[in-house]
Structure 1
């Protein structure tokens, strides 16, 4: 058997071989690459109903296994479609990591939404968050070290260091003194106002599917699913929505003042400044979106970053 070459991206021929070896029921369907492939997984459509997801590196295997473990328990309690895992495959010589087959969810990522579409997405996304955050997590380990840093606090010594690093590294984009002043004001956050709950941790536009008029049709990529403070799920409100729609998602998610201030702090450094710093050369579109986001966040505390 030919061994998988880590230097090469998998192709449709390899995926067909994988299906024949472990899930032959789908091996005769048309297999083709999907534009939905992201930074974590290679994605291939299988017919019209299914997709194969293959982790790009060993580091993303845990995310795939998290989805396979928990989504069957959560999905029945959510009214928005989420990935249905049909099959979890074993590593093999053809592909050295576990991979999965999921049901395909139709829709498109939200891009350039008008005011009405923003309001509809904010309404449906806020309701989805409220449903997810209300699901029972009482019997699970609440230690943030078990779940990852986004299950912890939005202000830590580590995040302070990230802010300083990004401020210096982005001095051609922003005044580093203004970046540090904005973070000084933003980092003064209250304690979490509620108990730890189920959180998605990455509700960015890349992980949402919408209809043409902005209604939420699906939520993807639950690899970062965790137990923690719900504020982290609201952080992308500053990248997707104008001020009016942000108030809609806040209201529909039932986010109080403490949760909102913590979400704003989350938005500024990790997904904001640090992502711009690390990916500005290879992800220009995302960089532009996040640049606008951190400027909007800083403006709310009276700081211009330029």
Structure 2
């Protein structure tokens, strides 16, 4: 079986080639070990093997990611019943073994197309669906919800880091910095901490036949300000899709203007991160360039 090479992202620490993935299955879930492995993909935090037609294997590729996967295993079974879109709730758990150091998951395969690979105008068809899904998630979280220092927090806590990343070589840097300043000046979130997906960019969205078919990668799940999720309005859609997304969101939650100002600032903050490794992650870089242009347009 041919596998893709390990991306050159400096934070990736461990690869899981086909022989190791199959050995782990044979050791811990032997009833799945004969299913074909195919379609290996890498993200910044996890590696995914498709397993047969209906399942996938999800392996952390760096130590930090292992805690994110634990978060998915604990909380996705709790959250999935309230969400109107499929999410990859783990169906099996894997443990460290055979030289692989962390917990891993067997999850359902969510069929469809990665939204980031679809034409932006076509996404308007499911903009209301994404708004509905996030609105269902954005409800008060329990006191033991996970904490994430990078998502759902006050922008003031992230300002210095974000501002330092908005260097002149970032597309539309001046507009992004203006959006960040506006977000920092906006009234901070003062409501109850709500569930926050943490990373709903179009690389983590699946569409099919004009509908939102899946919401993936809950590793950054936390509680806090929903504005960091609402940034997807600029990351995923053009102006037409954003209008639909905002309108549907407002029907459910009626967030104030300050929340949307903070959301645009969060969108600006994600741009340099998405652009950080364009050769290794061209799809994410394209999302970053699109988000920069959308923030600059208003």
Q: What's 1:216 paired with? A: 212
Candidates 244, 247, 250, aligned match of 2:246: 250
> What RMSD over aligned residues (CA atoms) do the two structures have, in Å?
2.5
Q: How does 1:263-302 map to 2 (within 5 A)?
A: 263-269=263-269, 271-276=270-275, 278-280=276-278, 282-300=280-298
Deviation at 1:176, TM superposition (A): 6.3
* Cα pair 2:36 2:52 within 8 Å, conserved: yes
Aligned-partner Cα distance in 2 for 1:76–1:175: 40
Aligned-partner Cα distance in 2 for 1:38–1:161: 22
Aligned-partner Cα distance in 1 for 2:295–2:174: 16
Closer/same/farther in 2, CA of residues 26 and 70 from structure 1, 3 Å limit: same
- Normalized against structure 1, the TM-score is what? 0.83
1:196 equivalent to 2:193? Answer yes
Aligned-partner Cα distance in 2 for 1:65–1:9: 19
> What are the ranges of 5 or more consecutive residues in structure 1 without an aligned counterpart?
1-5, 301-306
Task: State the Cα deviation string for residues 259-299 of structure 1 (Å, max 9, x = none).
Answer: 21110111112x113443x3245434433431332233234
Q: What's 2:114 paired with? A: 109
Q: How does 1:2-81 map to 2 (within 5 A)?
A: 9-35=15-41, 37-81=42-86
* Cα pair 1:162 1:274 within 8 Å, conserved: no
1:240 equivalent to 2:236? Answer yes
> What are the ranges of 5 or more consecutive residues in structure 2 without an aligned counterpart?
1-11
Deviation at 1:127, TM superposition (A): 0.4
Closer/same/farther in 2, CA of residues 280 and 189 from structure 1, 3 Å limit: farther
Aligned-partner Cα distance in 2 for 1:99–1:109: 22
Aligned-partner Cα distance in 1 for 2:219–2:13: 24
Deviation at 1:150, TM superposition (A): 0.7
Aligned-partner Cα distance in 1 for 2:123–2:172: 31
* Cα pair 1:167 1:174 within 8 Å, conserved: no
- Normalized against structure 2, the TM-score is what? 0.85
Deviation at 1:32, TM superposition (A): 2.4
* Cα pair 2:151 2:228 within 8 Å, conserved: yes
* Cα pair 1:18 1:94 within 8 Å, conserved: no
* Cα pair 1:90 1:99 within 8 Å, conserved: yes
Deviation at 1:186, TM superposition (A): 4.3
Structure ID, larger Rg: 1
Q: What's 2:184 paired with? A: 187
Aligned-partner Cα distance in 1 for 2:179–2:206: 32
Deviation at 1:84, TM superposition (A): 2.0
